[in-house]
Amino acid sequence: ECCKAFFRRNAPKGLDYFKCPYEEKCKMDVSNRRFCKRCRLRKCFEIGMRKEYILTEEEKMRKRQRIDDNRYGRMLDLEKKMSRSGVVSTTQVPPNRVLRTMEPEEEVIINEIVAAYRASLEIPIESKVPRDNANFSDLVNIAEVSVRRVVDMAKKLKAFKALSQTDQIALLKGGSIELLIIRSVISFDKEHNYFLDPFDKDSLAMTPDQLKMGIEKPALPQAAQDLKTTGLFDEHMKFVKSLAVDLKADETVLILLLMLSLFSPDRPNVQDKTYISAEQEKYALLLCRYLESKYPSPVARSIYPRLLMKLTDIRNLNEEHSQVLLKLNPEGIQPLMKEVMDMHLKKDGEDSDSSSVASP
């Protein structure tokens, strides 16, 4: 097992990466193999070990998924045979015994994204807008802190930091509204029926009624009329409750959905689509594994596709939100909100600066 671990770590680097201080005449045995990595790696290649056989983390997850799927299929076949033969099992497996255990590397990734999200909540709210007397423009400005928290979270992730600055900006700007929609679900307190991030003061909470009143009291009457006729707010609340109440999505599930939305390879101006697509697939597999660690397989298999379908619903909501925001007068909107959503003044005739999103 030690040799396998050594090979997994060093084979991708190749022999040329290492140097032998003893003219490549090292004798490889248990006692001295640790003194020369080059000769040890050469010995691995000589006995038939191949770096092509080393699985990536995504491939490992897929392999485990196939093994679990086959095991689950065999269990179903056995149950069907027993049912046809009239044999009734006298022992039932408790629900918690059929849950799948998360792999250590999967837990590491989940811990990273959850920690990044929670750390982002420490960014203070500077808005002085009264929650019970806000108009539509005020609501957009109130959302600025959510944008700052999304940006802060993203910049704490290794996978995101590995991207070029161009792709970082493209993902954040292209997915800004969708990311805010998912964040609204995370911040929704279904017991008290209001929106509030955990570390914020209770006085900053906003109820659905307060939000609806603010939307119907706009800076531009036409914008509110459009919003009212499309029923966008009602659709938004329906979406929030479908995740928070109907599917009972917990914080981890919602943060994983946030990752799936963030790493969308089809955003405008994205360059490294292959890497971003691989990251999105990684988080999709991780969501599946997390559900299977929380629910029995049949339940997890039912919930998983319904959660993925919510990403389509988010896209539809994004389109409707965008149409309304286009009609909003940008004069009273905070710079970051104009930048992220490309709401710069038409008279400027210039591309919006991306310094705030791009800065560390």
For 70-101, the DSSP string reads: HHHHHHHHHHHHHHHHT---S----GGGGPPP
CA distances from 330 to 2, 87, 211, 352, 357 (A): 62, 71, 20, 13, 19
Total-model pTM: 0.67
Q: Which CATH number fits domain 2-53: 3.90.1150.10, 3.30.50.10, 3.40.50.10860, 3.40.50.2300?
A: 3.30.50.10
Question: Which residue bears the tokens 């919930």?
Answer: 303
Alpha-carbon distance of 330 to 332, in angstroms, equals 6
Q: How many CA atoms lie within 13 A of 216 on its CB side?
A: 12
Specify the pLDDT at position 73: 56
Task: Give yes or no for a contact between 207 and 193, defined as CB atoms under 8 angstroms apart.
Answer: yes
Alpha-carbon distance of 201 to 26, in angstroms, equals 66
Residues 6+ apart with CB under 8 A from 98: 296, 297
Which burial class, exposed, middle or buried, applies to 111 when counting CB atoms under 10 A from its CB (0-12, 13-18, 19+)?
exposed
Specify the pLDDT at position 197: 86
- Taking Cα atoms as reference points, which of 234, 217, 197, 236 lies closest to residue 132? 217
Specify the pLDDT at position 6: 80
Q: Which residues of 32-69 are buried (b: 16+ CB within 10 A; e: fewer)?
A: ebeebbbbbbbbbeeeebeeeeeeeeeeebeeeeeeee
Q: Which residues of the chain have pLDDT under 50?
A: 1, 75-76, 78-79, 82-83, 85-97, 223-224, 227-230, 343-352, 360
Calculate helix-pair angle for 251-262, 104-120, nearest 10 degrees.
90
Domains in the chain: boundaries: 2-53, 56-85, 104-358
CA distances from 117 to 172, 186, 225, 347 (A): 15, 10, 35, 37
Question: Which residue bears the tokens 């479908």?
Answer: 242
Task: Give yes or no for a contact between 264 and 280, defined as CB atoms under 8 angstroms apart.
Answer: yes
Q: May I ask the CATH architecture of the domain 104-358?
A: Orthogonal Bundle (1.10)
**Phi and psi at residue 302, in whole multiples of 5°?**
-80, -40
Please write the tens of the pLDDT for every residue from 16-71.
888 887 778 787 777 667 778 888 888 888 888 877 666 665 566 666 666 655 65
Task: Give yes or no for a contact between 137 and 332, defined as CB atoms under 8 angstroms apart.
Answer: yes
Task: Give yes or no for a contact between 358 and 165, defined as CB atoms under 8 angstroms apart.
Answer: yes
Task: Give yes or no for a contact between 24 and 42, defined as CB atoms under 8 angstroms apart.
Answer: yes
Question: Which residue bears the tokens 């409750």?
Answer: 241
Task: Give yes or no for a contact between 197 and 254, defined as CB atoms under 8 angstroms apart.
Answer: no
Specify the pLDDT at position 17: 82
For residue 147, the surrounding DSSP H or E stretch is helix 144-154
